[in-house]
């Protein structure tokens, strides 16, 4: 099963490398119904503003420090500590300093559950290589909010 997934992932990465005009490194905070999550993503954006790459997200450090081991074990099974995988974003509106994209992240939560999370993200470019973003999405049929800062190269 894992070998069957590797070929499409490598193919997507190859296409991105060939058609990429810029690399985007993003750090973000996402507020879910359970707790805030912090994440990092790295991806490629082609000349048509399509973006794709990989991400890693985990429960905020503050929350981890405040919980004992017993409290963590008592959490519901669907509680998400880690979420990592691939993403792609399709432009809805593209302006010189403002971009709105439909974003879909897919991957594994806690190394055992598969998740797909759609969202709408808006980025504002105050400087040439810096973007400030915000967005809304859904996780387990509940709304989420996201704030981010990105650097393009």
Tokens of 100: 């709105």
Total number of domains constituting the chain:
1
Within a domain: residue 148? yes
Residue pair 146/119 in contact (Cβ under 8 Å)? The answer is: yes
Within a domain: residue 49? yes
CA distances from 30 to 12, 95, 112 (A): 26, 25, 21
Within a domain: residue 74? no
Nearest-10 Cα torsion for 20, 22, 25, 26: -90
**How do residues 19-56 score in pLDDT, each as one tens digit?**
557 889 999 999 987 778 999 999 989 888 999 999 99
Within a domain: residue 118? yes
- Determine if the pTM surpasses 0.85: no
Residue pair 16/49 in contact (Cβ under 8 Å)? The answer is: no
Q: Which residues pair with 21 in a beta bridge?
A: none
**How do residues 65-120 score in pLDDT, each as one tens digit?**
555 566 555 555 556 788 999 999 999 999 999 999 999 999 998 888 899 999 99
For residue 134, what are the domain limits? Answer: 2-64+79-152
Specify the pairing of strand 113-127 against strand 98-109: antiparallel
**22: helix, coil or strand?**
strand
**Whether residue 125 has pLDDT greater than 60:** yes
CATH of the domain at 33: 2.40.160.20
């Amino acid at each position: 099963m894992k070998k069957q997934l590797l070929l499409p992932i490598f193919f997507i990465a190859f296409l991105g490398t060939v058609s990429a005009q810029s690399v985007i490194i993003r750090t973000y905070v996402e507020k879910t119904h359970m707790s805030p999550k912090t994440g990092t993503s790295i991806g490629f954006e082609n000349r048509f503003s399509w973006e794709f790459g990989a991400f890693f997200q985990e429960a905020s450090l503050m929350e981890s420090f405040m919980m004992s081991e017993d409290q963590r074990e008592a959490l519901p099974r669907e509680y998400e500590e880690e979420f990592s995988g691939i993403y792609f974003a399709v432009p809805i509106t593209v302006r010189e300093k403002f971009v709105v994209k439909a974003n879909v992240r897919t991957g594994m939560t806690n190394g055992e559950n598969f998740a797909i999370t759609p969202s709408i993200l808006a980025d504002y470019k105050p400087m040439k290589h810096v973007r400030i973003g915000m967005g809304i999405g859904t996780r387990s049929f509940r709304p989420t909010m996201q704030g981010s800062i990105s650097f393009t190269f």
